[in-house]
């Protein structure tokens, strides 16, 4: 799939205010003919332009797109191992190193496991893993996973081991609460 219009921000500038909008030549010609104007406070800013070029250069030189796909496949495999062990992991989805791991009450209903998500996220933090969970009702309880493009196998293993432990401890704690 090739999108008609894509907006990008944040990481393009390595932390500086830098964003981009990409579109097809056909759409660009159409909006140009209609005298569409676009302006921001950082238009033609030489600092952010140089940073953007440096980000593109490093991305190409270090083959970070290829690396994201390779490491993302490894990360997905680790999450799928967890999914085989835990009925509460409903879905593992994403592309490259941007992934979502859905926590559910059960796979049949796919009802979000908000309490489990919150407790697991807290335990991960206590165990040394900073991560977040999407808890909005329309998004369910989804671990949002976005490690740096330079992440190593050892770091992925350490993070998934922490997630595994936090999930197991959270399930145990919640089952004790239900029994009481």
Q: What is the pLDDT of residues 119-140, one digit of tens each?
A: 999 999 999 998 877 766 666 6
What lies within 8 Å, CB to CB, of 16 at 6+ separation is 47, 48, 51
Query: What is the rounded distance in angstroms from the CA atom of residue 16 to the CA atom of residue 14?
Result: 6
Cα–Cα distances (Å) from 5 to 21, 26, 139, 179, in that order, read: 7, 11, 24, 52
CA dihedral angle for residue 97, residue 66, residue 8, residue 47, rounded to 10 degrees: 120
For residues 14 and 55, give the distance between their C-alpha atoms in angstroms, rounded to a whole number: 7
List the structure tokens of 148. 């740096």
pLDDT digits (tens, 9 = 90+) for 42-51: 677 788 888 8
Residue among 149, 135, 63 at smallest CA distance from 98: 149
Contact 133, 146 (CB under 8 A): no
Q: What is the pTM of this model?
A: 0.80
Predicted confidence (pLDDT) per residue in 46-75, tens digit = 888 888 889 889 999 999 999 999 999 999
Highest mean pLDDT of the ranges 3-12, 44-53, 109-118, 127-136: 109-118
- Contact (CB, 8 A) for 94 and 100: yes
Residue 119 three-state SS: helix
Q: Which of 76-90, 120-134, 143-157 is predicted least confidently? A: 120-134
Q: Once rounded to an integer, what is the mean pLDDT over residues 7-22?
A: 78
pLDDT of residue 83: 97
């Amino acid at each position: 799939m090739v999108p008609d219009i894509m907006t990008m921000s944040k990481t393009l500038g390595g932390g500086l205010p830098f964003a981009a909008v990409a579109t097809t030549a056909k759409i660009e010609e159409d909006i140009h003919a209609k005298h569409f104007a676009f302006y921001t406070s950082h238009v033609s800013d030489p600092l952010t332009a140089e940073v953007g070029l440096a980000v593109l250069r490093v991305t190409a030189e270090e083959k970070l797109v290829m690396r994201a796909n390779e490491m993302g496949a490894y990360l997905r495999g680790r999450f799928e191992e967890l999914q085989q062990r835990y009925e509460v992991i409903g879905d593992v989805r994403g592309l490259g190193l941007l992934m979502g791991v859905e926590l559910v009450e059960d796979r049949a209903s796919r009802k979000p496991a908000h309490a489990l998500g919150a407790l697991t996220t807290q335990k991960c933090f206590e165990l040394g893993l900073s991560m977040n969970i999407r808890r909005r009702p329309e998004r369910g309880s989804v671990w949002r996973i976005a490690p740096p493009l330079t992440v190593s196998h050892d770091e992925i293993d350490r993070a998934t081991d922490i997630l595994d432990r936090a999930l197991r401890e959270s399930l145990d704690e919640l089952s004790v609460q239900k029994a009481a």
